[in-house]
Amino acid sequence: MDAILSRLFSSEEEELYVLDCLGYFMIFMAACTFVALLFQDVPYGRYAPSTGRFRVDARIAWFVQELPAFLVPFCLVVWTSSAKTSLLPNQLVIAMYFCHYIQRSLIYPFLIRGGSVLWLVGWLVNMHSDHILRNLRKPGETGYKIPTGGLFEYVSGANFLGEITEWAGFALAGYSVHSTAFAIFTAVVLSSRAVSHHKWYHAKFEDYPKSRKALVPFLF
């Protein structure tokens, strides 16, 4: 892996420059995506067309989509030699990233930066909200139901709020343009998703709580 990277980049400075450019480009694309999502929902899940020619099982689709986000960084960490990955703050950020994608809890010796606490809060909200959504239907039941409990009492997109908070903490802990770009892009996509869900719930259920907001309790 080191040999491959050495062929791609002549120096560490060049590698960091490329990463910075990619980070800024991702922020630019987040702005473009924000504008696009004002006019069209992302066509997956409940918004997917029912007449599509090629339909993929949601579980397989999510697995294939998320797997590279785990495998590529994992291979880079395991099979490259870098003194920076031996530093405790960097190890914490790496652990936070992997913990999100493998959906398992990790035990830390201690928390170093404030972003770690924010990440932990977001991760717990995300996991709890996903638990509520998974258990909405009893065995044999079909159709959609109104989620209740946790932050779902206040917002329609509690799971999205948790993940946005999670990656905001990750960006604060990582303290770089790259982690910030990832957090911004995630916030743009998931906030749009939360608004779409909020409108859909109100159209679907006449008794949907009027006091609930889309993403931010009491505000938005």
The pLDDT of residue 59: 65
Tokens of 42: 């992302």
Q: Give the phi and the psi of residue 168 in degrees, each rounded to 5.
A: -65, -40
140-168: average pLDDT: 94
State the chain's mean pLDDT as an integer: 85
Tokens of 143: 């159709």
Give the distance from CA 202 to its chain's centroid: 25
* pLDDT per position as a tens digit, 39-85: 888 877 777 777 767 777 666 776 777 778 888 888 888 888 777 88
Cβ atoms of 93 and 173 closer than 8 Å? yes
The pLDDT of residue 48: 75
Domain spans of the chain, in order of start: 19-44+85-204
- Other Cβ atoms within 10 Å of 155 Cβ, number: 24
CA dist., res. 159 & res. 11, Å (int): 41
The pLDDT of residue 109: 31
Cβ atoms of 208 and 175 closer than 8 Å? no
pTM flag (> 0.75)? no
CA dist., res. 145 & res. 163, Å (int): 22
What percent of the chain is modeled with pLDDT above 90? 48
Residues 6+ apart with CB under 8 A from 186: 163, 164, 167
The pLDDT of residue 58: 64
**Bridge-partner residues for 213, per DSSP?**
155
